[in-house]
Amino acid sequence: MTKTAIMEIKRSLRGPARENEPLAPHTTWGIGGPAALWAEPADTADLQTLVGACGAAGVPFFVIGAGSNLLVSDTGFKGVAVALCRLADMRISGTHVMAGAGTSLRTLVRETMAAGLSGLECLCGVPGTVGGGLATNAGAKGRAISDTVETIEMLGHDGAVAAQPHAAFTFGYRASSVKQQGVVCAAQFRLDPKNPAEIKQTLRSSMQERKARQPLAAKTAGSVFKNPPYDAAGRLIETSGCKGWAEGGAVVSEKHANFIVNRGGARAQDVLALMARVRAQVAKVTGVELEPEVEIVG
């Protein structure tokens, strides 16, 4: 990415932009080299301008939300990291909720609970944002964010912003076509009325269960591998004897085998090497080929 391209993109943007921004502090793993440019579009129109400028300059970009489910290369990203933290407006009208792509899932769950609206309890404790949650179809216990989304406002590949209905996308287990169809700007959800106290109890129980089973206080990216059909990746990894395995500063959690913890100073290459060892061991012992859930950038 040339200095000229960086300056042209920065001039086009109304929101903040920083060169050679370290990405490690922006990820829950705390791993990753710098992005050539970090950009925070001020609003949807600014996002349109930014993406158009990247296209005109032939510069790659990727969208970063809360930095969970993400492994950034040690050498960083030679393009633009687009942070949608300023697209975080949220409006509740009756049983409908409109939330910007940068809205944290934690805020979405908390505010809908307070409004007595049910349907997003499956996102309790899930790190991330609305945009990232839709891209990965985040959820738990057989439920997902796609169950309640009605429309998604997208910046398409043609440069136009338009609201697309649920039927315009495909959703599966920890997967969707959302990312392939453009950049999420906002989404509308339809929820069900319910006593806030009942919702709160459900959320409390879910969080207690998560705290008991997962290393929530450690630096992780969440689940590293997708659960195969009718089984759990964590069980397969534990059965294969991988708990406690380490590469450099990366270690397979003793608390939940489908989490890799950055115990200090871990590099992306440590995590990748550990993931490869775990996949090979699970395949050898169980015959199951695990599929990574984390996105690798750079």
Greatest alpha-carbon span in the chain: 56
223 is catalytic: yes
Tell which residue, 291, 294, 9, has the closest CA to residue 136: 294
How, if at all, do strands 295-297 and 70-72 pair?
parallel
**Which residue among 73, 176, 206, 223 is the active-site one?**
223
Choice among 18, 174, 263, 277 that is catalytic: 174
- 3-state SS, residue 167: helix
H helices present in the chain, as ranges = 3-12, 44-57, 105-114, 130-136, 196-213, 233-239, 268-286
Closest residue by Cα to residue 107 from 93, 84, 128, 86:
128
DSSP 24: G
CA angle, 244 then 250 then 251, to 5°? 10
Q: Which amino acid is at 8?
A: E
Catalytic residues: 174, 223, 293
